[in-house]
Amino acid sequence: MDLNKVLTGKWEGNYDAINWNEVSDEIDKATWHKLTEQFWLDTRVPVSNDLKDWRELDDDHKWLVGHVFGGLTLLDTLQSQDGMAALRLNAKTQHEIAVLNNIQFMESVHAKSYSTIFSTLNTPKEITEIFAWSDSEEFLQNKTKRIYTLYHDDESPLKKKISSVFLETFLFYSGFFTPLWYLGHNKLTNVAEIIKLIIRDESVHGTYIGYKFQTEFNQLSDNEQQELKDWMYSFLYDLYENEEKYTHLLYDEVGWTDKVLTFIRYNANKALMNLGQDPMFPDTAEDVNPVVMNGISTSTVNHDFFSEVGNGYRLGNVEAMSDEDYKIDSWENKHKQD
């Protein structure tokens, strides 16, 4: 089947069932396995345990936490509504489509999880203000619109993948800095747990989409590769310049701007690495503030694509369904005590 034709409704031949026993790209299968193994939901993390820490913050720091999460909500909304749908159109295998479906759903979980945090920490009036801000803030809207436009440009499938990796591995990190900073100081640890679960997902997404990018990029001629590289570095630099302004806006008041900029340059290099490219900035892990690095590495979370799930987060005990479960009365009785 020509998958692009299938996905755009133009396919007229027989329709093929997906066969997971014949997988042409083993990375699809490994990624599916990894992502389903690390599945999580925001509602399982006890954010209200952070209320004591939250009440001890002054207004400037509360403002910062609320607004970085407002910005992150917008980016995860873009990923769940447009990003994965855009990448699906250029999928090469049916298994890749299945992986992207999984990613798309998790992006919706990410976007929703900030609302779980807001409803616990913020007043309804504050929540309304945060969303009004993220729906109109100039630098946040700039980056969102830039990526949105590329997602809907069907002329350049590789630019869609570059956009996705830049968003996942670079643009999120001006926001992630704040919860990681608090985690490094052993504050807001449940909020940070949610963010670490998101980072763990983004790490797999960035690696996988970067890998898919590289398989196609390597088939281009030298000239085509060079042209795309030039575009990629200049796009990254444009995004960085915008990110500098966004970072000043968020962090000048609390005085963390320089630390955040180092952190985002380090992550910009990681985004390029996912795409198989050389770094752009001189910043390395040693340059990043140790408190934030400590936040990233605390507890048992891991960022290594192929290693086992190591997060403190636990799924509830799962028991198999029985016939009794399908009788609604008995189900209610059985679970009343839970």
Point out which span in 20-28, 85-93, 203-211, 298-306 binds Fe ion (CB under 5 A): 203-211
114 in active site: yes
Residue 94 identity (one-letter amino acid): Q
Q: Does 137 bind Fe ion (CB under 5 A)?
A: no
- Secondary structure of residue 306 in the 3-state scheme: coil
Stretch that binds Fe ion, among 199-207, 238-246, 260-268, 274-282 (CB under 5 A): 199-207
Helical segments of 79-93, H only: 84-88
Question: Which of these segments, 59-67, 194-202, 212-220, 308-316, binds Fe ion (CB under 5 A)?
Answer: 194-202
Q: Are 272 and 89 in contact (CB under 8 A)?
A: no
The answer to the question of residue 196 lying near Fe ion (CB under 5 A) is: no
CA distance 175 to 179: 8
> 114, 211, 251, 313: which one is catalytic?
114
Q: Which residue has tokens 């320089």?
A: 258
Site for Fe ion in 72-91 (CB under 5 A): 76
CA–CA dist 253, 179 (Å, integer): 17
In single-letter form, the type of residue at position 72 comes to L
Q: C-beta of 102: minimal distance to Fe ion in Å?
A: 11
Would you give the distance in Å from CA 79 to the centre of its chain? 8
Smallest gap, in angstroms, from Cβ of residue 324 to Fe ion? 38
Q: In angstroms, how far apart are the furthest CA atoms of the chain?
A: 69
Choice from 95, 205, 212, 265 touching Fe ion (CB under 5 A): 205
Instruction: Report if residue 42 touches Fe ion, rule: CB under 5 A.
Output: no
Using CB under 5 A, which residues numbered 94 to 113 contact Fe ion? 107, 110
Assess 168 for contact with Fe ion (CB under 5 A).
yes
11 HSE (CA, 13 A, CB side): 12
- Residues labelled catalytic: 114
Positions touching Fe ion (CB under 5 A) are 76, 107, 110, 168, 202, 205
